[in-house]
Amino acid sequence: MTSTSAIEIVNANHPQGPFRAAIFDFDGTLSLLRRNWQAVMIPMMVDILAETGTTESREHLHRCVDEFVMRLNGKQTIYQMIQLAEEVSKRGGVALEPLAYKHQYHDLLWEQVGGRVEAVRSGRVHPDLLTVPGSRSLLEWFQRRSTSMYLASGTDISFVRDELSVLGLDQFFGDHIYGAIDDYENFSKAMIIEQMIRDAGFDGTEIVGFGDGFVEIEEIKRVGGLAIGVASEEETCEGVNAWKRERLIQAGADVIIGDYREFDSLTKLVRLA
């Protein structure tokens, strides 16, 4: 592995471009509105599993939940809830429908996220304070170069559209904004990438993808694109999150960054058509 300032080259033989399209995850990759959602989801799930009467310690349950929550990070939230329901049943409990767990999680999360969204919407907080540092400059660069930009998130599409607008980032993606839908089997990041390739005639090697989760990195690599893992520190906005970095490398990331501050070095690495 080599590094260029804050850019770590994991795969020296990574795709070189030129790239004609870029795809971004949203939460943790561009937006910090939902930062540390894990601190809401994981304890909620541990509480639910503990209520089954299992003899496992809370520490053991936490490790179990942490593993599957982060493995499924990047997929629609419902998949984490489907796994939760399976874990409840495994322990002899009576599981709710995954959608009920998802609504419970959203209600808890919104107690934090709602305040952030309204603070930005009202003008009390500048939107750049709740985006990953350097995001806007990078998106503007892609826009100036007429690169097709897509956004695909595991968060519900209604929230994604609203929060993109609140942050002033919707202008970069036009109609190419995708998020979770109720008919969850008919949405995935793999489907969006396949649609990009089919509709615009891109080759997979002409796509650069940015994400902080396992799923999007795997899918970009599956089609032969350049996978940039964004190991963002969502609270401090400084440096690289070591846990994310390790997971992103496991998923196959070619490059690791903490944010987009090293703009000049990053844009030299991403050669556009």
Q: Quick one: pLDDT at residue 10?
A: 97
Alpha-carbon separation of residue 120 from 5, 149, 151, 163, 263 (angstroms): 32, 24, 21, 10, 25
Mean pLDDT of all residues belonging to the chain = 93
Q: Which has more confidence, 187 or 63?
A: 63
Question: Residue 33: its pLDDT value, please?
Answer: 97
* CATH number belonging to domain 2-32+131-269: 3.40.50.1000
pLDDT at 263: 92
pLDDT at residue 199 in the model: 81
Mean pLDDT of 127-136: 97
- Per-residue pLDDT band for 239 (boundaries 50, 70, 90) equals very high
Residue type, 104: Q
Residue 191, C-beta contacts closer than 8 angstroms, at least 6 positions apart:
none
The pLDDT assigned to 70 comes to 87
Amino acid at 87: E
- The reported pLDDT for the residue numbered 196 is 86
What are the residues whose beta carbons fall under 8 Å from the beta carbon of 203, sequence distance 6 or more? 197, 224
Q: Would you kindly state where each structural domain of the chain is located, as residue ranges?
A: 2-32+131-269, 38-121
pLDDT, tens only, 251-260 = 999 999 999 9
